[in-house]
Amino acid sequence: MTVGVERVRNSEFDVGFNEIVVPVKGFLLKRGKLAGIYVKDVIIPVTEKIPREVHKAVVKGRVKREITVREIYYGNENVIEVLIETDYQSWTVFTAELS
């Protein structure tokens, strides 16, 4: 029997997310590193630190030609994340908080 452990309820915040898959037109490279992603008429900058293997995969063309855009709801706060997939792993390349 476990004493002093109660079930945690998430009654204060409404947490949810929307996920969209967007095709990629191209990648912006700067000195062999991923600096941005071309989507429609917009360039999404890479603001997060990603491993060297991801940069190499982009240069060699082993990256999926689509990105995942997530809009996450934390109560009154909204966060947008952009993920890129390479070798069956997803990496966050951009994060922004919306007001």
Provide the residue-wise pLDDT of the chain in tens; the chain has 99 residues: 445 455 545 555 567 888 999 999 999 999 989 999 999 989 999 999 999 999 999 999 999 999 999 998 887 788 999 999 988 899 999 999 987
Closest CA to 53 of 88, 22, 81: 88
Domain span holding position 87: 15-98
CA–CA distance, 13 with 61 (Å, rounded to integer): 41
Contact of 36 with 28, CB cutoff 8 Å: yes
Residue 10, in any domain of the structure:
no
Q: What is the pLDDT of residue 4?
A: 46
Residue 54, in any domain of the structure:
yes
Residue 76, in any domain of the structure:
yes
The encoded tokens of residue 70 equal: 């997530």
Q: What is the pLDDT of residue 9?
A: 52
Q: What is the pLDDT of residue 2?
A: 45
